[in-house]
Structure 1
Amino acid sequence: MNGRVHAGLTIVAVVFTGYLVVGGLVWTAPVTLPVVHLAAIGLYLATTWLCIFWGSTRRGAEADDVLHHGPALPAWLCILALATAVIVPSATWYAVDIGARLEPFATWSLGGIGALMAIVVVRRRVLVAWAGVAALSVAAIAWIGVVDALTFGVVGSVVWVVTAQLLTALVDRAGNDTAELTAIQRRSSEWLASQGGRRRERRVRVRHALSVAGPVLIRTIETGGRLSDDEREQARLAEGALRDELRGPRLLDESVRARLHEARSRGSVVTVLDEGGLEGVGDATLERIREDLARALEGADSDRIYIRTSPHDRIAVTVVGRSRATSESDDDEVVDLWHEISHADDDAS
């Protein structure tokens, strides 16, 4: 419910309750105790308008809750509403002559208390509202009898409370549906935005792949696969670069690509694998990881270089270099490069 609708309903509630009070002030017969009668009207107006305006000045994050559901009445205001439902009808009939108890200025409280209890329902105190209707019914039967009580407003008060309860439930359901649809729309917008980002990233990758492999592919087609040794070397480097783009794109920037190209040019076999762990990493941290990786690869001349991301809580990337042992009789490989890059901004091992 937006602010204008809320303000409009508030004005309607104030005007309607004021209209009911006017009926109690139009005396068509003498009132025995006018002070008591006027005091009952004043108590009703004060309680009703407190129930209407309580919490309407809240702002900020709580304002949405006020407009959508409305804050529940505090306990002291619930007690005041119940006391009004008990006191006002009896005080009104007590203040007028016995012969005038069925006059409109004496029975106004039946409709007035019914309207008050409907407001209490809207303010999330259903049990209090029904207790007030019960108190009103008992007082009306005691003062004017069952038939007249039903005729002059008890039934109408019950109908108002039931209607208010049904309308409140419908508004709540509509509000929940609106909130759910808003959440779905937000998730859809986020998904579309992510898909747009991925499409842009894919276009960048494709353009880079074409810039790397395009000349080699064109030359391969032109020569029918008969490439010179230098062209074959360029094809090998291009293939490695394309594998890097497919297997570890989050690790790559221009500096890392240059270091990988240099390592392959020196004869190293480089394997780059993104095995998770960088999904939630921020741009600043990812830039630091790439800078550290480029420094680790600078001058690396291992026979085989393995670069892998890690889902480990502390280690983001591991760089391992293996080379054949210097002894010609030994076929084993030794680790001659080991570098770990952590998620935190501290020195890597």
Structure 2
Amino acid sequence: MANGLVLVLVGLLVRQIDHWWFSPYRRLPGSGKDRPACNDIVSIKRLQRARANDYTPACVVIGHWLEIVGLWVVGGAADNLAVWMLIALLVSIEFRCLQEVSHYAVHRSLCRTRRVGDLLANMGFQFPLALRDLTQRRVVHVRRHHPNAIIPGVDPNLEDLADAGLSPGCTKGRFILGVLFPMTPRGVYRTGRDVWQVLTSSRQRKWVLLSAAAMAVGAYLLGGPLGLAFGFLIPRILIYPELSWISLLVEHRWFDRPPDRGNRVSVEAARCQRLYHGKPVLEALAGHTLLPYGDLRHFAHSAYPMIRWNYLRAVERVIGHPQRLVPAIFFGPHSSLAYVYRSTVLGEAHDESRAQPHPL
């Protein structure tokens, strides 16, 4: 078990190499004690370009996989069902983190060159989990979703929500099933169907098969049957899809009226919402589990999608917050899911403007 914990610690430390390199708080070479200025979008972009490289991003991906392997080793040594259930959740969080890291490759900001970023995202996340390659993901996410967020009939994410039963006029029962969709029989079937399509018909199916098989074999060798089940299959088929689904549900004001035309920041301020504002403990917890690598600051990302997660906090300081500030995701009358419930089941519209973005 000690070896597994060491691997987890090493993985955590390896990831810090990239975080340190891109840190907005690290001084620039030859600047003495001066730290780089991040008080406007131009300076933030300039700093990101200065730090861009094709090497340190691999540390993030390698670090997460070291942590996954370490968790398998811990589970194999413990050989306890309760431990494996916890590991299933932790591995799912690791998958969620890798999803967000690869998301920046989709926007071509993970590495200096697109080719290296795509390779790292495909081999480090897409292929081992039998997901479509980054080129296909880029078409859906960058070309179809980002310019058309929350616009009915155009945004593919709204199509996914409707397919899960989440749309205005749904019943309370359909709402509950919609929130839990990836874990329902229909959701599991869709996940399995998508995996099968990638394994059998994708252009890179050979690499997908090799990567996914290597992961399954590794989980089995280090953890036995429980390792295969709780270290790979259950996280991949049930828990990780649910975590990803919840993150999708809470990033936008899906069922509000699409914003009027305006500059990019004002449009995204009407589309997005800010979670856990003013609750630093819950914000930190969500930022390392459900909404990692800047996903908590979705407004900042939507307004400037080419900026890496390391600088989204600085972007948020420049442009302010979106119109809706949400204190929680799951519980309370002002939680994100409560807004979704009122928009779908009760058919209420929301036009609150509790905060305005900083004018540019």
Normalized per residue, the structure richer in strand is 1
Q: TM-score, normalised by structure 1?
A: 0.29
State which structure, 1 or 2, has the greater radius of gyration over its C-alpha atoms.
Answer: 1
The higher relative CO (CA closer than 8 Å, separation ≥ 6) is in 2
